[in-house]
Structure 1
Amino acid sequence: MSSDQLNSQPETEAQTEAAVEAAAETEVDGESEVRSLASVASSVEETQAPSTSHSHSHSPAGKSTEAPLTGCVVRIKRELQDIRKHPPPNCTADLHHGDLLRWTAGVNGPAGSVYEGGHFRLDIRFPASYPFRPPRIRFTTRIYHCNVDSRGAICLDVLGERWSPVMNVAKVLLSIYVLMSECNPDDPLVMCIADQYKTNRREHDKIARNWTKLFAMTKVQDKKGEKDADQRNEQHQEQKPMPSQPAD
């Protein structure tokens, strides 16, 4: 080995050690950054990709539990328990076929409004980033309202720019209930209904009441009628005499 090679060897080893230390620091910093991002639930919905930091979570063997979803699930379970014990006035909500991230809700038409007497169903879907982002809520019962379009989408500020993690489903349902009694024609989702509300309120109210009877009351009455019919049939079967046995 030449003297030049001997002289350069310590320098090479020093450079190698420095590179290893830099790589280790980069790896630690990168892992910290990943974990930091994973703790922010909004990053999950944007990336839609599993984080490598999930392998560091202490979850039972055979179960895949994502760290960001944990906070979401805990929050939704707590809200579900609260809304079952203390449902908001004129509103109901529960799981849709046992799916924790999807609920079915109901709002009764406010008294004195054109929706009075109707029972309106809503579909609620929670993103993985909940409660940092709002749930997606839409009417599944048709409603004639300038702030609700034909697909059931709702124009409501608390479901958009005014959403905050301190909000919850119960508060949103109450906001929807208020919106049904006091629509906002200045920020409409259906312009023609908003114009009619401003220029021909009588005709608007007439159509809204007809829609309420047609879509929000008929199904409830049909279900009640079916239940009553089933009960009558059961009573009839109980009272019906048994056929006599033929004589031998």
Structure 2
Amino acid sequence: MSTPSKKRLIRDFKRLSSDPPGGISGAPCADNLMIWNAVIFGPADTPFEDGTFKLVLTFDESYPNKPPTVKFLSKMFHPNVYANGELCLDILQNRWSPTYDVAAILTSIQSLLHDPNPNSPANAEAASLYRENMKEYVRRVKATVEASWMDDGEMATEDPIPEEDEEAMDESAHGSGGGAGQATSASTTPAAAAPAS
């Protein structure tokens, strides 16, 4: 049985699949629609360029009223990423809005790679180097980029969607088509520009 959260996640997946923002991808696990695997490619003209960074997004039944938990599986050296891979990003905390969808979340994280916020550090060493020794900061980030190429960090699953959820997706595709897709397209731009908390 589909819950409001699962219906919303199905819409999010359809939107992300049909109109994916550049440099990001994501899909739910085969055995659990509430857990998503995602990949963010390092933005051009940044130290993260050419990196392939894996993440996991974990949703609960309160989505979209509350944000998912998001964690990098790939090793990261970034002022706003904790050692355990969790992020310090305001839209995942105090500035969350139910209009944000998975595409907006991933776009915001990609934007954070482009524009770190060293004034709200999750990694004090990375923030300090970013402010005071850019050459060393870039060297450390480049090491994580190279590690991302060989990263065998486990994804939650290989198969993106279980069959019963595929049927639900087919049914919702022929339904109203309103709701999340319409509300969230306006939120993608603000989310992409959202600063870290």
Distance (Å, rounded) in 2 between the aligned partners of 1:182 and 1:70: 36
Which of the numbers 75, 80, 83 marks the counterpart of 1:147? 80
Query: Aligned partners of 1:174 and 1:97: how far apart in 2?
Result: 23
Matched to 1:216, the amino acid is: S
What code does the residue aligned with 1:152 have? G
Give the structure 2 partner of residue 50 of structure 1.
none
Q: Is 1:77 paired with 2:10?
A: yes
- Match in the other structure for 1:163: 96
TM-score, structure 1 normalization: 0.59
Which residue in 1 is equivalent to 2:148? 216
- Greater share of helix residues, 1 or 2? 1
Q: Which runs of 5+ in 2 are unaligned?
A: 153-197
Q: Which runs of 4+ in 1 moved over 4 A?
A: none
Identity in percent: 31
Aligned to 2:3, what secondary structure does the other structure show?
A: helix
Q: Note the alpha carbon deviations across 1:167-213, whole angstroms, 9 max, x for none.
A: 11100111111100110000110112111111111111111111211
Q: Structure 2 CA distance, aligned partners of 1:122 and 1:205?
A: 21
CA distance in 1, matches of 2:63, 2:144: 33
Given candidates 117, 123, 126, the residue that maps to 2:56 is: 123
Structure 1 gaps, min length 5: 1-64, 221-248
Task: Tell me which amino acid in the other structure corresponds to 1:90.
Answer: G
Partner of 2:44 in structure 1? 111
Deviation at 1:90, TM superposition (A): 0.6
Of 128, 135, 144, 1:202 maps to: 135
Could you report, residue by residue, the CA deviation over 1:93-148 in whole angstroms, capped at 9, with x for unpaired residues? 01223420000000000011111111100001111100000011110001110100
CA-based RMSD of the aligned residues comes to 1.4
TM-score with structure 2 setting the length: 0.74
Choose 1 or 2 for highest CA Rg: 1
Corresponding residue for 1:185?
A: 118
Which one of the candidate residues 105, 117, 125 is aligned to 1:172? 105
Q: Structure 2 residue aligned with 1:91, among 24, 27, 30?
A: 24
Separation (CA, whole Å) in 1 of partners of 2:10 and 2:150: 33
Q: RCO greater where, 1 or 2, for CA within 8 Å and sep 6 or more?
A: 2
- The secondary structure found in structure 2 opposite 1:161 is coil
2:111 and 2:139 map into 1 onto residues whose CA distance is 20
**Kept after mapping to 1: 8 A contact 2:74/2:151:** no
1:218, distance to aligned residue in structure 2 (A): 2.2
SS, match of residue 172 in structure 1: helix
* Aligned position for 1:17: none
TM-fit CA distance, 1:88:
1.5
